[in-house]
Amino acid sequence: MAEAVFTDQNFPQDVLKSGVPVVVDFWAPWCGPCRMVSPTIEELAKEYAGKVVVGKMNVDENTNTAGQFGVMSIPTVMIFKNGKPVKSVIGAQGKEAYKKMIDEALAA
């Protein structure tokens, strides 16, 4: 499954009301580190299909949600579970760091 695309409009339904954990990559097209993380996020979407939803939110186009959750630096990857952010990491990370974060959220 490909990664989801989140917007200010679909975020409440697709993320906050999701029955499974949701990984949100807050990014922007002009952000070099965001572009470096993008292939990893795509791989995670495939690897965790059926267990978590993985998607991206362009912070330039969706300022309300980014502001609501205090996203000040990008890339920020945040995991939501039961409508609340449970884990987040700022800056480009390796795939293993993201996997550890997702696995911990699934186990909690």
User: Nearest 10 degrees: CA dihedral of 1, 88, 26, 73?
Assistant: -160
The answer to whether residue 80 is catalytic is: no
Share of the chain above pLDDT 70, in %: 98
The answer regarding whether domain 4-107 maps to CATH 3.40.30.10 reads yes
Average pLDDT rounded to a whole number, residues 81-90: 95
pLDDT at 1: 52
The string of DSSP letters for 61-103 reads T-HHHHHHTT--SSSEEEEEETTEEEEEEES---HHHHHHHHH
**pLDDT-based confidence at 100, cuts 50/70/90?**
very high
Average pLDDT rounded to a whole number, residues 15-31: 97
The answer to whether residue 34 is catalytic is: yes
Catalytic residue among 24, 34, 54, 71: 34
